[in-house]
Structure 1
Amino acid sequence: MTPRKQAELMDACRTLFPAADVTRDFLNRIRSDSLKNAYRNKVWEYHPDACANVQDADKRTERFRRSVEAYKLLNEYLKERRPTFFLRHAQVLQASSPRLNIFERVPHERYYDGPLPTIELKIGLYLYYVGAISYEAVVRAMMWQRDLRPPLGVLACKWQWLCEEDVAMILGSTQIVGSFGERAVKLGLLSASQLNILLLHQRTMQQPIGRYLVAHSLLSELSLRHYLRQLAQHNAQIQKSRNLMKSAGGDEVIEDMIYEGENDADSTFE
């Protein structure tokens, strides 16, 4: 890590954890759940809607923006900090791990039976590819998650970045290819920076897929924790192999990669 990168991460920590003694050790000990809690507290504290005094609105908006950027920076750091295993041992690790899913398969639904793809995966697809849930269950979980996620237009109106007339214009501009946010940017109603902040905030507010799977008895909480750890190991293996292949120019066979540390995937419903 470069000194400049470390300084940026330290500043981000001071933004989200103002009462903490921010050191390199503090940075190394940050966990995903504590980061999310700190970010949510700052959102409640500096949210533009919480400002009754017009004179303080600009100051709160700036602090809110800095909190969002600090969370994004630290979240990327946590992803890069995850452990690595040698890629060729992925299937061995998967085969040797105990199957903790105690629920029976749903009749007439499609279950995957094949090798694990050598790409980074999200938890829903990972559970499908290890045979824990059906393809139909993945689709239902994603639809449930989408329906509970606050629409971008609603968030933008709450923050007074858009008005109801703007939302109607964006929805009616079907000739413009893209999502709601992409249309808003193309119409000049939102900036690219505003869209990124909205998308990040929207993701932090959505319910995780794991909660749906446990609530609908498709997985036990214990098995979900187990698969989350496996997923962290799998994605770390893929990332490590990609980095080494890139540094080797893709011409050398990668040998003797070893486990480098403990994983950071204990949050049950990520």
Structure 2
Amino acid sequence: MQACQVIFGDELTISREFLEYVQLSGVKSAYRKRAKETHPDSLVGQGQVAQLRGAQQFQRVQKAYKNLSFYLDAREKGVRVAVVSPAARANPYQAGRTARTDFNRKRAQARHRQKTAGSAGQGCGYSKERPSHNGTQGNLFSGRLPNRPLLFGHFLYYSGLVSWQSLIKALVWQRSSRPRLGEIGCRFGWLSPEDVFSLLRSPDGRPIGQRAVDRGLLTPRQLNTLLALQKSQQKRLGEYFVQNRIFEKARLQEILRRYYAHNYRQSKRARQAC
């Protein structure tokens, strides 16, 4: 984040969404501008102190551009680079202790999951709920299924198969796995990298697609098309529970059949009531 402030300026609001969408072309453009402003040649004839400060600033710009290029390259390869918080920079000793504690805790949790993986779900192909990612057992719903059509995630919860906490984690995983709207728009030629960069520089809490429509960069029909494509390319919710060994594939197929049967019965009942 500090590298972004050096390259783009202090007036830019850095958010997770910005880091996800920023493109190398935008970084290069901002870098050239900053490098030109801070280049030592532009300070010829000024005092020695001003030249020294300018040289230091120019070096910071070079380092920031190198760090951002590394981040973008890692992001394109699917590697998530941890962002160091200001608190960690201010107290690296404490940050190191915290990191070691987190590592040991996660390793202990992984060993516990491995020990329970062999026995959990034997005979039925699934475990109703394994320990959650923070080591605690999630609360399972124990009532009756609602008499209405349900989304698949809600069906899992109301069937007592997963906890609400696990369902939220699955939905976050699904959302993070889908392609970014700006990338799809650029692929179709409806948006340019400069358009996306401009939208990310001025976040106002609204989705990027809605802001693109308000600025006349997309039509409502184009936005709906992009949203439909984005949704169609995201991973299915059930894959999360298979990957995390909450369900086996065969058991997931059985649950899906029950899910479709439930929604069919509820839809048929609603039609008959009309």
Q: TM-score normalised to the size of structure 1? A: 0.50
| Greater RCO (CA < 8 Å, at least 6 residues apart) | 1
Structure with higher Rg: it is 2
